Structure 1
Amino acid sequence: MAPIPKISEPICLIENPGDKPSSVNEEAKKVLENISQPLVVVSIVGPYRSGKSYLLNKLSGESEGGFSLGHTLSANTKGIWMQCIPHPKKSGHTLILLDTEGIGDVGKANQQNDCMILSLAMLMSSAVIYNSKATIDQDAVKKLYTMTGVHRFITETVSKQNDQDVQTDDDHMLPLLVWTLRDATLKLEINGRPATADEYLENSLKDITPVKTPRTQEQNRARETIRNFFPKRKCFVFDFPSSDKEILGTMDHVSETKLQSTFVEETKVFYEFILREVPPKRLKGGAVVTGSRFAHLLQSYIDVVKRQDIVFLESSMSDMFTNENRKVMNRSTEVYGNKMSTQNVNSHQEFQQIHEAAVEEAVQGFNKLYIKHEKSQEEYRDELMADLLKKKDEIWKMCEDSSLQRCNDVLGQLKSKLDRNLKENKYHVPGGHEAFITDKNLIIQEYTQTRDKGVKAEDLLKEFLSSLEVIEKVILKTDQDMSATKSKIYKVTDRFDTEQLTNYIKSYQLPHESFNRVLIQLFGFAGHGKSSFVNSCLFALSSNSFNDFAGEATSQGGKTIDRRGYKLTNSITIVDNRGLSKMDSAEEWEIYAQLCNCVPLDEIVLWDKSQEERLSLVTRRAQEKRSDVIVPVLIYSSQQSLSGEDFNNIKEFLIQAKILTRILPFIVLTKSNVANKSSLKDKFFAMGMENVYCLENYIVSDRLALRSKHLNILTILYDILESVNFHTKTRSDFQNQRQDWLSFLMMKAGTMQ
């Protein structure tokens, strides 16, 4: 509940200037608008100078700054004044005290004001205190009757039957009447027996019997009207507060010890009754009145009294209830929207389940706050359901849009490799369909495992797979056509026929399916022609013009500082390893790491890794599963002599390479147009090498295609493949060598500085 706005003293609520129509004080209205608590509204009416303000000040607990008492003969309170305080007895409620201008002021130009003020007090209040003096006589009853200007249409609305004990909804609008009889000197007796104050009041409101004259009939009508309009009644009789006139003029400022003890005790009983028994103000249908509702109805109360037509009030109440119920519906819709928007859903079924739970919560919230009036709760619920379904459609659209964005992002990342391969026609080769299916299934698997893709995940995957159907058919047809051509076995019957050699190399397949590819590993000192040999092999196997794919070395030495792989065919990859500067202990480990395929392709090779880095690299590679057939090839320039330390280091490397790969290394002597090539060949033969070739590479400055050059290059590749065929057919433990590689590298990493 919102706190009660602090006001230091009573404030005018209804301004009644006399010469102008009554109006609502906007400042007081703003105070009420900020009160969300239920109101207990107590108003006091009666003749001026009858002590009304004193009783209200007792209820508010104010001894200073309360309602003005005044002590002159002119009425001091004009219009209706209001004081707001937290209810002393009802937690979470606000007590509104209304002090009205005194009736019967001879200074008033228009005595109809008395009727208007009393009528307003009746409409606004939970309880009306009618303050009169001395006795309840016919004159006092007549004044109360004539001032109830709204009694005609109120009593018609209530339409209570004398024999009905059941309270109707409209009874909530009728205030409690508390008749306070001040300065009473009479002895409370009825027909000579003692009577209570309540019995005295009821006796005063009984019909006069027998009815004999129009006058007595009118008197009975007044009594009946009061009884019907105030079905709940209470009476308090107060003795004189004091016989001292000075004290009577300043009662709020004197101690209770100076007042008559009977008056003080009667005041306490009155105070306790009002705070304990007066209920919260309610409207038609039983809806409790809050400060904001009270502020909304103030002008309607004035209009009702002016026009003597309750339709104005009922219409205003209907508008207010409609607006408040609409606010409740909006809050329920907002609760639904917040609950739905914060959920991550991945299917329509899941969305529907959350929707149903959220609807139930929203409807329950509406049912708790719904305000009953002429429009049924079912009608509002139907409107609420329409709002919720509209909100559901909006949120579903948001879920779809968000999911589409998320799924497109995920799928875009996963299919980038497939898109690139399609663009480069890498699936339009023998075996391409199987590779395509593998890549496609990997996308599906990773896409399915990705969480929180939203409600469009399945639909988008279906669209993606549908978009691949035509492409897949084309790849399958191409694969079948090329495989039919490839299934033709190419044989080399003439080693000098370049076409036969080319067809054999391009169609080459490893003898066993357990092997992925042939890895031709090139080693040698920087600037000896490894990169040029790669370019020459690519040129010899293609029908295109020469290209410097590998990056030809300059006169200052080799350019390659990383380990690069070049695909000659689907089954053969040639690797340009980083060139050596000196085969010392720092370079040695990296040479063997490249040889054993432990260093990833297309990464920079550094000679100065720490021992921990080398061990970590071996450990990571140990987790991978590879089945490549490695063929070591040493590239050495014929322009360089081979002796001393280099001779011993190369010999040791070639012997170790044979042990690790199970294949005798190949030696390619580049720039072989020099005279010392024969002696160089002899040195390699002396090391135990059998496959030694002399070759003049294609280079950028000498790219003219010659049959002799092509034949030399193709012959080397052909002999490499024949060596692979021999070793893979005769050795059953070929794949187990991988563990030997890793053990060797671990040992080397532990012994090298």
Structure 2
Amino acid sequence: MAPIPTMSKPICLIENSGGKPCVNEEAKKVLENILQPLVVVSIVGQYRSGKSYLLNKLSKGGFSLGHTLNANTKGIWMKCIPHPKKSDHTLILLDTEGVGDVEKGNLQNDDMILSLAVLMSSAVIYNSKAAINQDAVKKLHTMTGTYQFISEKASKQNGQDVQAGDDDHMSSLLVWAVRDFTLKLEINGRPVTADEYLENSLQDITPVKTPRTQEQNKVRKTIRKCFPKRKCFVFDFPLSDLDMSTLDQVSETKLQPRFVEQTKDFCEFILQEVPPKRLRGGMTATGSRFAHLLQSYLDVVKEKDFAILTSSFSNMFITENGKMMDKSIEVYEAKMSSQNVKSREEFEQIHKATEEEAKLEFNKLYVKHEKSQDEYQAELKAELLKKKDEVWKTCEESSLQRCNAIIEQLKSTLDQNIKENKYHTHGGLKTFINDKNVIIEEYKQKQDKGVKAEHVLQIFLSSLEPIEEIISKAEKEEEISAPKPKILKMTDRNDPTQLTQYIQSYQLPPGPFKRILIQLFGFAGHGKSSFVNSCIYAVNGGNFNDYAGEATSQGGKTLDRRGYQLTNNITIVDNRGFAKLDSTEEWEIYAQLCNCVPLNEMVSWNKSLEERLDLVTQRALEETSDVVVPVLIYSSQQSLGEELKNIREFLKQAQILTRILPFIVLTKSKMVKQSTLKDKFLQMGMENVYCIENYLQSDHLSLLTKHRNILTVLYDILDAVNFHMMTKSNLQNQRREWMSFLMKRAGSIQR
């Protein structure tokens, strides 16, 4: 909070020149800069009665005691200090001009000033002398006449609508300070406290027999009604023959000990027990709010019209609630702008949570008045929706800038090679595709790309399609004009060289199929990504690279469906690994199998029914030219336990959907001499079961046996495809069957 201004001396708050009170603008500015809650204590009473002394004891000095019989304090003077007992609060002390100044001769002016002090205060100290007698009671009643009238009028105006706390702004604590008290605190010979003494003095005089006693009772009843909370302190003479003007200069050791103790008790009570100033509806008064109401307080006592204050409260509440709305919107915008979201779905989730936080924060600070909380909530929601659109637009623009910068950086070498026609040579298409895939992988590894990451990547890939087509066309023309390479006939399937040449030169027969998708499925961490790397290494040779992102035995890393081009006709697909292969994952697994999920997109296990149906509807309209081969990757070091039933069901369904018997590749089989696991798969009716050892980053020394085993799997897959071609499958019918299957299963599989 803003620091409290340093005030060594009081400043005039309400000027009273010529009996025309007005607000001092300099003091008002001081209050406007105080954002802390206020405890406002004022003191009233006859002039030259020592009011300023008590305020000096509360504030460590600064109020003038005067040195003549003339009233020294004109109007209302204010001193602001940090509250000694309440942290983060400000204590406002108000010293009013004394009543009964013969030079003024204007009782109405006294009444106005004193009523104003009572109206503004958390507690008002009434300073009188000698005793609480009928004269002292009558003087208090007289000097606060305007306040009494306003209080009664406010109660009638509010009627039955007044709720607990709503009229706190009209109720000040009365602290009656009786100076130079010489009586004994006794009632009918019984010792009493100062509070009991006060209450007894304000009780009705009974029995009522005369007009005079009736009038006295009316006065007492009015005071009790105006000040429902009351406290009394009595003070002995501080010192005999003491000049009050020099009281502050006398050491406490020379004052009467009882007077010193009474003064300490008084100060302790004021500082400890007087609450913060409350406004209408229970709102705590801060310096800025108090300054806002100053002129209204003054106008109320001038015009004796409480409606002035009601209107001022209403305007202030509208302003305060508006500020709270602005603050809630600012907090929302700051939190939303700081989020690094990756998708619109994630953005919407964060928006809902942040919107709820903003609403709850506003509700805590909302001030009740004529405009309902629901109306404010509706306005706040509308403003947050506008801000949401602005933040989303900023997220998109920021993400576009970052992603485009990343693409520009990564494709610089590719652009240079294209410019120098380095891909327009024999084998240039393969090199181009490898370079493109390297860019894709490096791009995906970059963090904090934002919501447009996939969009920018697809635009980049689309920009390469014409170039790739030109390179492909040039390579085909070169192949046509160049001597046909001699393709060895497969005479020995154990010969890695023949296997490699066969796979590299394999061409799909004329027909609807243009590409083979070798679909890899399996549990996370069982070696799918390593099998992809091993196939690329075995078929293409060269240096070993971790294209697919090799995982560990603790679990897989692939969360999307990635495609890797093995040859011009063969793409190997690393689908997202299972966690359980149960009903929570089953639909997404079949969606990958049926080629419903686009390549190189994130795979989520928990799509809603609507999202699943939308995906199927969208993909059903697309044409296909892919022949799908299902391959299950399973670690030889894992036994088949509870998942056996689910695996059997998956393999059976995969065969029905693709018309091809699934292939089983058992990885990590180096230490397994005799695989009982292989026998279990054979017992399921699987005919193509292979035990292999993948190449790894930590173990990629090219070995003949490893190469042959991996190439054999690929060769047998192509052989199965050749057999499948003979069935003359109708691709569109098959795709319709897939989409129908996914539609039926979309709602039945648990989420």
Confirm or deny a common fold (TM above 0.5). yes
Q: Which of 221, 225, 228 lines up with 1:224 in the alignment?
A: 221
Equivalent position amino acid for 2:240 in 1: S
2:189 paired with 1:205 = no
> In the aligned structure 1, how far is the partner of 2:76 from the partner of 2:119?
13
When residues 249 and 447 of structure 1 are mapped into structure 2, their CA distance, relative to the original with a 3 A threshold, is closer
Q: Which of 51, 76, 79 lines up with 1:80 in the alignment?
A: 76
Partner of 2:599: none
> In the aligned structure 2, how far is the partner of 1:166 from the partner of 1:324?
21
Partner of 2:659: none
Q: Which of 171, 176, 182 lines up with 2:168 in the alignment?
A: 171
Q: Deviations over 1:382-438 (max 9, x none)?
A: 444433333322222112112212222333344456656767777778877656544
When residues 425 and 277 of structure 1 are mapped into structure 2, their CA distance, relative to the original with a 3 A threshold, is closer
Superposed displacement of residue 73, structure 1 = 2.4
2:240 paired with 1:237 = no
Q: How does 1:623-638 map to 2 (within 5 A)?
A: none
2:310 paired with 1:314 = yes
Superposed displacement of residue 319, structure 1 = 3.1
When residues 239 and 420 of structure 1 are mapped into structure 2, their CA distance, relative to the original with a 3 A threshold, is closer
Superposed displacement of residue 307, structure 1 = 2.0
Q: Deviations over 1:504-545 (max 9, x none)?
A: xxxxxxx9998xxxxxxxxxxxxxxxxxxxxxxxxxxxxxxx
Whether contact under 8 Å (1:430, 1:480) holds in the other structure is no
Partner of 2:123: 127
2:373 paired with 1:391 = no
2:26 paired with 1:27 = yes
Whether contact under 8 Å (2:344, 2:451) holds in the other structure is yes
> In the aligned structure 1, how far is the partner of 2:66 from the partner of 2:466?
100
> In the aligned structure 2, how far is the partner of 1:95 from the partner of 1:436?
78
Equivalent position amino acid for 1:203 in 2: N
Whether contact under 8 Å (1:287, 1:372) holds in the other structure is no
- What is the DSSP-based 3-state SS (H/G/I as helix, E as strand, rest coil) of the residue aligned with 1:131? strand
Q: Deviations over 1:142-185 (max 9, x none)?
A: 33223321323324545799xxx995332354110011222334
Q: How does 1:539-618 map to 2 (within 5 A)?
A: none
Q: Deviations over 1:663-716 (max 9, x none)?
A: xxxxxxxxxxxxxxxxxxxxxxxxxxxxxxxxxxxxxxxxxxxxxxxxxxxxxx
Whether contact under 8 Å (1:206, 1:223) holds in the other structure is yes
Partner of 1:44: 43
For the aligned residue pairs, the C-alpha RMSD in angstroms reads: 3.9
Partner of 1:447: 443
Q: TM-score, normalised by structure 1?
A: 0.58
Partner of 2:193: 196
When residues 218 and 379 of structure 1 are mapped into structure 2, their CA distance, relative to the original with a 3 A threshold, is farther
When residues 128 and 443 of structure 1 are mapped into structure 2, their CA distance, relative to the original with a 3 A threshold, is same
Whether contact under 8 Å (2:165, 2:282) holds in the other structure is no
Partner of 1:11: 11
- What is the DSSP-based 3-state SS (H/G/I as helix, E as strand, rest coil) of the residue aligned with 2:311? helix
- What is the DSSP-based 3-state SS (H/G/I as helix, E as strand, rest coil) of the residue aligned with 1:150? helix
- What is the DSSP-based 3-state SS (H/G/I as helix, E as strand, rest coil) of the residue aligned with 2:63? coil
Q: Deviations over 1:84-114 (max 9, x none)?
A: 2333333333222111001122211532111
> In the aligned structure 1, how far is the partner of 2:83 from the partner of 2:202?
32
Superposed displacement of residue 448, structure 1 = 2.6
Unaligned segments of structure 2, at least 5 residues: 487-497, 502-701, 704-751
Equivalent position amino acid for 1:6 in 2: T
When residues 173 and 425 of structure 1 are mapped into structure 2, their CA distance, relative to the original with a 3 A threshold, is same
Partner of 1:460: 456
Whether contact under 8 Å (1:247, 1:254) holds in the other structure is no
Equivalent position amino acid for 2:260 in 1: V
> In the aligned structure 2, how far is the partner of 1:305 from the partner of 1:383?
37
Whether contact under 8 Å (2:40, 2:277) holds in the other structure is yes
When residues 440 and 89 of structure 1 are mapped into structure 2, their CA distance, relative to the original with a 3 A threshold, is closer
Whether contact under 8 Å (1:286, 1:372) holds in the other structure is no
- What is the DSSP-based 3-state SS (H/G/I as helix, E as strand, rest coil) of the residue aligned with 1:15? strand
- What is the DSSP-based 3-state SS (H/G/I as helix, E as strand, rest coil) of the residue aligned with 1:305? helix
Superposed displacement of residue 128, structure 1 = 0.5
Whether contact under 8 Å (2:65, 2:244) holds in the other structure is no
Could you list the runs of 4 or more consecutive aligned residues of structure 1 that deviate by over 6 angstroms after TM superposition?
420-432, 487-490, 511-514
Superposed displacement of residue 77, structure 1 = 0.8
When residues 60 and 489 of structure 1 are mapped into structure 2, their CA distance, relative to the original with a 3 A threshold, is closer
Equivalent position amino acid for 1:92 in 2: D
2:136 paired with 1:137 = no
Equivalent position amino acid for 1:201 in 2: L
Superposed displacement of residue 213, structure 1 = 5.6
Unaligned segments of structure 1, at least 5 residues: 491-510, 515-734, 737-753
Whether contact under 8 Å (1:41, 1:281) holds in the other structure is yes
> In the aligned structure 2, how far is the partner of 1:413 from the partner of 1:201?
86
Q: Deviations over 1:187-211 (max 9, x none)?
A: 4444554443322322222234455
When residues 239 and 469 of structure 1 are mapped into structure 2, their CA distance, relative to the original with a 3 A threshold, is same
- What is the DSSP-based 3-state SS (H/G/I as helix, E as strand, rest coil) of the residue aligned with 1:463? helix
Partner of 1:504: none
Whether contact under 8 Å (1:430, 1:486) holds in the other structure is no
2:323 paired with 1:327 = yes
Equivalent position amino acid for 1:196 in 2: T
> In the aligned structure 2, how far is the partner of 1:6 from the partner of 1:345?
48
Q: Which of 169, 172, 184 lines up with 2:181 in the alignment?
A: 184
> In the aligned structure 1, how far is the partner of 2:38 from the partner of 2:324?
20
Whether contact under 8 Å (1:136, 1:204) holds in the other structure is yes
Instruction: Flag the structure with larger Rg.
Output: 1
Q: TM-score, normalised by structure 2?
A: 0.58
When residues 273 and 422 of structure 1 are mapped into structure 2, their CA distance, relative to the original with a 3 A threshold, is closer
Q: How does 1:225-374 map to 2 (within 5 A)?
A: 225-244=222-241, 246-359=242-355, 361-363=357-359, 365-366=361-362, 369-371=365-367
> In the aligned structure 2, how far is the partner of 1:248 from the partner of 1:513?
115
> In the aligned structure 2, how far is the partner of 1:374 from the partner of 1:35?
27
Equivalent position amino acid for 1:52 in 2: K
May I ask how many residue pairs the two structures share in their alignment?
Answer: 492
Equivalent position amino acid for 1:288 in 2: T
Whether contact under 8 Å (1:337, 1:391) holds in the other structure is yes
Whether contact under 8 Å (1:177, 1:233) holds in the other structure is yes
